[in-house]
Amino acid sequence: MKRLFSVFFALITMLLPLSVAFAASDSEIEALRGTTLYVYNWGEYISDGADGAIDVNAEFTKKYGIKVVYDTYDNNEVMYSKLKSGGVSYDVVIPSDYMIERMISEDMLEKIDFDNIPNFSYIPEKYRNLDYDPTGEYSVPYTVSYVGLIYNSKMVEEAPESWTALWDERYTNNILMFNNPRDAFAIAQSILGQDYNMDTEEGWRVAAALLKEQKSVNPVYVNDEVFLKMESGEAALAPYYVGDYYLMKENNDDLAFVYPKEGVNYFVDAACILKGAKNKLAAELYLNFLNEPDIALANAEYICYGSPNSAVYDNPDYEYYEDELLYPEEGAFKTQLFTNLPPKILALESTLWDDVKNYNATGSSYRSLFFGENTSASIDNGEAFTSETIKYGICIGVFLLAVIAFVVFRAVQKRRREKY
Amino acid sequence: MNRRSSLNSKLTVSPYIIWAALFIIAPLFFVVYYSFTTSAGDFTLENVQALSKYLPTFLRSIWFGIEATLICLIIAFPTAYIIAQKTDKIQRTMVMLVMLPMWMSFLIRTYSWMAILQDTGIINTFLTKLGIHPVHMINTGGAVILGMVYNFLPYMILPIYSVMAKLDYSMVEACQDLGGNRLTVIRKCIIPLSLPGIVSGVTMVFVPSVSTFYISQKLGGGSFDLIGDVIERQFQQSYNYNLGAALSLVLMILILISMAFMNKFSDEGEIVI
């Protein structure tokens, strides 16, 4: 019976036109039946069968009989820390450009056998061998997209053109900001006309000072909460990825999007195979599967990010066919890719980011819960002792004194009582 | 017989000892080890020196923790007292009501506070409908403290209640017989008698408040970094386990000191009784 089934399966696969070019023989693929593939991807980054779309992982399992264990992460750094700390073993990950470069340099990725990925032919030359993977041996592009400025046209009077709108005092309390250092610094760097990948410490300090200055408009640092806050009209301005703008616009039609004139970050997320992957051939099948025209189309329409797959973006039935924001003309605005930063700059970036987060220019305090007051203070670069710190220090000191006074009082009272 | 029972007791205790060694002692050792090493594993004091930069964050965390604890105490003490006065059946229902929110994920509850407090949220929509000027509440320190009080209040009510429920009522009667008015009864009799509950309640609220991280991110809008946020960032984002461990170590020492202090308090309390 089992044999009959495999013969039947072999017949079906032979009839499928796409299986023709596989380097791995059908019997090798057949042998993978019942095995498991571990995939680690961004949240909300694959078509999962909602609203009648294709459930990519389920389809993969149906086609190859390989079970997919699928986990998600919020950002590159979380993914990196998790992989580095050990204790997890995945086969496929989909990091962004600069992280791929870092992982290649730290020998965390496995070379891909492109003979097993015939669908790679759909990836045009311009998305191959990019700076992060110059030899093109480690990654298969998954999405390409840009960062831009989302704004609520009901709350913002004139359409912003510049990133400096995020520093505009008119929108105090209504500005959102990236809660990760790389993207946040890139905005300041754009305004300052700096290179995103500069390796001068002074430049990073200047950018950090600009980010501190932004505290006077009380920015809210968000990750995924950006959806809730922009859709409900809670915030007026938010820097975010263009693909997600389309998702938000479905729920709030007042939202609009602009590419600021100072330039934006252009990024590529690409699928890679991890060193020591236990199921490498299955991982390659998966990478190939992601680039099947119908699967790539389903993903592109679900994620709403740009697709590097020509079978998708040349398809007139594609929802975002020739979309101006997702596929802008080359050179329409300034773009920069992230590259991996040297360890010294990375360490500096994370301490500077701690400083920025820690810095409180507004003096907005617990009392504002009741009075809604917001007293602006000037920017000082004194690292530790701001007025806020002194205030908390005094409060704690007074509290401790009160407690000690109480204890002493009790002790005296007790002694007096014992006299009788 | 004696020997066997001691062997038996050793056997019964052993799972816990193994557990403690694996999941309490070993992690503590690693925290100390990471605090004093570089990422390459060499001895260094750099992480500890870097801590001075985080003084404002430490002070803010401690002060927010103190405030949340005091507010919890002020709310919880009368609540526990009132519950303890009721009949058994009502007591059971009320205790269940106190615990009810804990059946839901703490993350979801904090997230929904965002929807309640924000400028276009439930409270402000209501205020606008009534023609009152809306109040900006979300992304303030007050919202963070509110989140702490909301999430940790049951940990204050329950220990105080459990002590009060077992309170020997004849003591209260004796106090009244000696001519104490209501206030004196509470001050001289009920508070001292329920002191062990108060002490454990304060510890159970203060410790998680000081070290929390999720609440401040969601309700404080990322502008009120607590020490827990900084530690989380070192582990999750910066991949700087060493600094993260050094921060955790200081936090741990701080908590140990405050707990020792609280215990002192309760010892003294028992002498008074």
Over residues A207-217, the mean pLDDT reads 93
CB contact under 8 A, A372 and B54: no
In chain B, how many domains are there? 1
In this predicted model, what pLDDT tens digit does every residue of A129-186 receive, in sequence order?
999 999 999 999 999 999 999 999 999 988 999 999 999 999 998 999 999 899 999 9
Q: Are the Cβ atoms of A370 and B142 closer than 8 angstroms?
A: yes
Instruction: Provide the number of structural domains found in chain A.
Output: 3
CB contact under 8 A, A389 and B56: yes
> Do A221 and A152 reside in the same domain of the chain?
yes
- Interchain proximity A369–B229, CB inside 8 Å: no
Q: Based on the domain organization, do A127 and A17 belong to the same domain? A: yes
- In a domain, residue A303? The reply is yes
Cβ within 8 Å, pair A389-B55: yes
The reply to whether B5 falls in a domain is no
Q: Tell me whether residues A365 and B236 touch, CB distance under 8 A.
A: no
- Kindly report, residue by residue over A322-374, the tens digit of the pLDDT: 999 999 988 889 999 999 999 899 999 999 998 898 887 544 444 333 333 33
> Between these two residues, A362 and A303, which has the higher pLDDT value?
A303
Inter-chain residue contact B141 with A354, CB threshold 8 Å: no
Sign of CA dihedral A308, A309, A311, A312: negative
B222 contacts A357? CB cut-off 8 A: yes
Q: Which pLDDT does position A9 carry in this prediction?
A: 52
Q: Kindly tell me if the per-residue pLDDT of B13 is higher than 90.
A: no
Cross-chain residue pair B142–A369, CB shorter than 8 Å: yes
Q: pLDDT band for A10, please (50, 70, 90 cuts).
A: low
Measured distance CA(A133)–CA(B74) in Å, rounded: 60
The pLDDT of residue A395 is above 70 = yes
Is the CB of A382 inside 8 Å of chain B's CB atoms?
no
Residue A2: the pLDDT is 52
A319 within domain boundaries = no
Best mutation target among A76, A175, A346, A368 (most B Cβ atoms within 10 Å) is: A368
Residue A108's nearest CA partner among A93, A130, A128 is A93
Contact B114, B138 (CB under 8 A): yes
Q: In the prediction, which pLDDT does A376 show?
A: 36
Does the pLDDT value for residue A377 go beyond 60? Answer: no
Nearest alpha carbon to residue A292 among A16, A15, A8: A16
Q: Looking at the structure, do residues A151 and A205 belong to the same domain, yes or no?
A: yes
**A225: confidence class by pLDDT, cuts 50, 70, 90:** confident
Task: Identify whether A205 is part of a domain.
Answer: yes
pLDDT cut 70: percent of chain A above it? 88
Q: What is the span of the domain harbouring residue B254?
A: 53-272
Which spans in A193-265 are helix H? 201-213, 225-231, 242-249
Region A300-310: what's the mean pLDDT?
Answer: 94
Burial of B31 (0-12, 13-18, 19+ CB in 10 A): middle
| Interface test mutation site (partner B, options A226, A364, A380, A389, max chain B beta carbons within 10 A) | A364
Nearest residue to B140 (alpha-carbon basis) of B196, B216, B76? B216
Give ipTM to 2 decimals.
Answer: 0.82
Average pLDDT over residues B178-187: 88
Least CB-CB distance to B62: which of A233, A386, A396?
A396
Asked if residue A332 is part of any domain, the answer here is: no
What does DSSP say about strands A36-42 and A92-93: parallel, antiparallel, or unpaired?
parallel
Same domain as A62, residue A197 = no
The beta-carbon neighbor of A234 closest among B67, B119, B145 is B119
Tens of pLDDT, residues B228-252: 999 999 988 888 899 999 999 999 9
- In B, which residues are within 8 Å of A399 by CB distance? 66
- Residue in B114, B120, B145 closest to A366 by CB: B145
Residue A7: inside a domain: yes
pLDDT of residue B30: 92
Residues A107 and A183 in one domain: no
User: Has residue B218 been placed in a domain?
Assistant: yes
Using alpha carbons, select from A343, A394, A338, A325 the residue that is nearest to residue A365. Answer: A394
Which pLDDT does position A157 carry in this prediction?
86
pLDDT digits over A236-246, tens only? Answer: 999 999 999 99
Say which CATH number the domain at B124 has: 1.10.3720.10
Q: Give the type of residue at B144.
A: V
In terms of CA atoms, which chain A residue is nearest residue B60? Answer: A392
Secondary structure of A60-115 in HEC code, one letter for each residue: HHHHHCCEEEEEEECCHHHHHHHHHCCCCCCCEECCEHHHHHHHHHCCCEECCCHH
Residues of B in contact with A77 (CB under 8 A): 236-239
Please check whether residue A61 lies inside any domain of the structure: yes
Q: What is the pLDDT of residue A383?
A: 44
**Mean pLDDT value across residues A74-100:** 90
8 A C-beta contact, residue B140 and residue B148: no
A 67-86: CB under 8 A from B: 75, 77-78, 80-81, 84
- Per-residue model confidence (pLDDT) at position A85: 84
Whether residue A370 is contained in a domain is answered as no
Do A47 and A31 sit in the same domain of this protein? yes
Please report whether residue A133 resides in a domain. Answer: yes
Q: Is residue B135 part of a domain?
A: yes
Rounded to the nearest angstrom, the minimum Cα separation between A98 and chain B is 15
Average pLDDT over residues B205-232: 91
Whether residue A287 sits in one domain with residue A255: no
Residue of chain A whose Cα is closest to the Cα of B142? A366
Domain that holds residue A407: 384-420
Examine residue B35 and state whether it is found in any structural domain, yes or no: no
Whether residue A214 sits in one domain with residue A349: yes
Instruction: Decide if A350 and B237 are in contact by the 8 Å CB cutoff.
Output: yes
The answer to whether residue B39 sits within a structural domain is: no
**In the structure, what pLDDT confidence band is assigned to residue A23 with cuts at 50, 70 and 90?**
low
Mean pLDDT across A183-207: 95
Asked whether residue A83 falls in the same domain as residue A162, the answer is no
Q: Report the pLDDT value the prediction gives residue B97, as an integer from 0 to 100.
A: 94
How many whole angstroms separate alpha carbon B18 and alpha carbon B12? 11
Length of chain B, please? Answer: 273
Q: Judge if A254 and A285 occupy the same domain.
A: no
Cα(B266)–Cα(B264) distance, rounded to whole angstroms?
6
Burial class (CB in 10 A: 0-12, 13-18, 19+), A271: buried
**pLDDT, position A8:** 53
Whether residues A369 and B137 touch (CB distance < 8 A) is answered with: yes
Same domain, A260 and A232: yes
Q: Position A136: which residue type? A: G
**Confidence category of residue A407, pLDDT binned at 50, 70, 90:** confident
Give the chain A residue whose CA is nearest to the CA of B227.
A358
Planar angle of CA A411, B79, B164, nearest 5 degrees: 55
Q: What is the pLDDT of residues B64-82, one digit of tens each?
A: 999 999 999 999 999 999 9
**Which residue, among A186, A223, A173, A149, has the nearest Cα to A353 in the 3D structure?**
A186
The token pair at A76 is 């590159």
Would you state the pLDDT for residue A378?
35
pLDDT at position A6: 57
A408 in reach of chain B (CB within 8 A): no
Residue B39 confidence class, pLDDT cut points 50, 70, 90: confident
* A24, pLDDT greater than 80: no
Kindly indicate the confidence band of residue A95, based on its pLDDT and cuts at 50, 70 and 90.
Answer: very high
Q: Which of A113, A104, A29 is nearest to A65 (CA)?
A: A29
Q: How far apart are CA A229 and CA B75, in angstroms?
A: 32
Range name among A218-232, A264-278, B143-157 with the lowest pLDDT average = A218-232
- B85, exposed or middle or buried, with CB in 10 Å at 0-12, 13-18, 19+? exposed
Regarding whether A259 and A161 lie in a shared domain, the answer is: yes
Min distance B220 CA to chain A CA atoms (Å): 8
